[in-house]
Amino acid sequence: MTSLNEAALPELEGRLPIPSYDRHAVRTGIVHFGVGGFHRSHEAMFIDRLLNLGGSQDWGICGVGVLPSDASMHGVLTSQDGLYTLVLKGVEGAEDARIIGSITEYLFAPHDPAAVIRKLADPATRIVSLSITEGGYSINDSTGEFDPRTPDILHDLEPNTVPGSAFGLITAALAQRREQGAAPFTVMSCDNIQGNGDVARKALVSFARLKDPELAGWISETVAFPNSMVDRITPVTTDADRAAVDAAYGFSDAWPVIAEPFEQWVLEDKFPTGRPPLEDAGVQLVDDVEPYELMKLRLLNASHQVMSYLGYLAGHRYVHEVCTDPLFADFIAGYMEREATPTLRPVPGIDLHAYRNELIHRFSNPAVRDTLARQMVDASERIPKFVLPVVREQLRLGGPIDRAALVIAAWARFLEGTDENGEPIDLTDRRLGDLRAALRADHAEPGAFLNLTAVFGELGRNTRFAAAYRQAREALQRSGARTAVQDLTEPSIPTRSTS
């Protein structure tokens, strides 16, 4: 069978859309750290769309991997000349696939960090974008300050070391650009974090200050960090996805991307050294991203946490299974309407009632087959960013917190390592040791789980939240997830859109 690469494109033309532009004429203008499924379904797709419109040839993407696990992506994209298949699957079974060609280079930092620094220092590189996950910025959730705790960051902070982390490489390249008198690039975070540009600024400037205070001052004064809101549900690629692409289109793609049709990117227009005409590709450029990002983080991302632990304990394994279960769909809708929405600012051009219904509709897409397990990786990074801000704001407002408290209690129950049928749970969290210690304390003294300040900050000392958590924990132990959800669900809450 034909393997996907540049030489195979003429043969594939007619089976599905392929890049209409000359990829050999595309020059790198964007360097991206964290080339996973989401980057390839989102930013790389938008750039590919621009390139297909004509022009924008100096905005190709060079991907960079910094983790040992990125070696697989390096191997695949190198063998496929950066090409991959993006398959969009709709709720009604419609499927739309095309070959994406906007990634024209891929560098694997552990093999050649100097090559990465040269690419970053090249004046042609005007944007450095990041999809390094919520925990990749080394920001302490309880203090909001930079916390250099990971081995790669600690290594890069040592004197006279060859950098290997994203922030070490970026800092080294900015130092070269400063020495050369070249303008700095813009750092554009594409991660699901409130104020992601501000967080990227905090992390990079703080890292640089520990290396070179004078350089840190220059970065703080000259580098732009636009905030953004990004949205497209993109599950992990499976062997079944690979086989389906092979069967449907008659070629082998070692790492296709499966995603939902919905797409959204709201971005602050702060690019001093230039940017591609992203608005032509459907990106919304705005002066203030915060209303949009709060909407997405507290409704979509928080709802993934709301559904996952309770749904998993009850026996569900996929997002669409939970969201087509009327009891859980009502619970999620109730959380969004009663607890999350009152904490939002007005969002220009958005009907929040329609947006909530659309989310349930999107979550119910069986074709995407998004797993609950994907939503629960590193929960100790996700819950503080998506759910706990809602709790804090509702405590300030005097509003309801019962559903959020049940979610936290379900997470604690989930961390015990088995579901309600006794099936083992594969736990993946960088704080797993601390979480298990907090759970042991919770068994001895109900509510002690909330004393893990690295996750909960001061919330463990809030008597109202602690009482709601203890009540929810007792309900789960007494009657299980479904009954606990039922007790908090009001039938008047609408479940999901029928369109």
> pLDDT for 429-449, tens place per residue?
999 999 999 999 999 999 999
Mean pLDDT to the nearest integer, 158-186? 97
* Contact assessment for residue 170 and residue 204, using Cβ atoms and an 8 Å cutoff: yes
Q: Specify the DSSP class assigned to residue 13.
A: B
Q: What are phi and psi of 16, to 5 degrees?
A: -160, 160
How large a percentage of the chain has pLDDT more than 70?
Answer: 98
* Contact assessment for residue 480 and residue 486, using Cβ atoms and an 8 Å cutoff: no
- Residue 94 has what pLDDT? 87
- Residue 91 has what pLDDT? 85
Burial of 302 (C-beta count, 10 Å sphere; 0-12/13-18/19+): buried
- Residue 143 has what pLDDT? 86
- The predicted model scores a pTM of 0.92
Is the model's pLDDT at 498 over the cut of 90? no
Mean pLDDT to the nearest integer, 383-400? 97
- Residue 494 has what pLDDT? 42
Tokens of 312: 């998993």
- Residue 93 has what pLDDT? 80
Q: What is the pLDDT of residues 241-271, one digit of tens each?
A: 999 999 999 999 999 999 999 999 999 999 9
- Residue 490 has what pLDDT? 62
Residue with tokens 């379904």: 41
How large a percentage of the chain has pLDDT more than 90?
Answer: 95
CA distances from 366 to 37, 262, 313 (A): 18, 14, 20
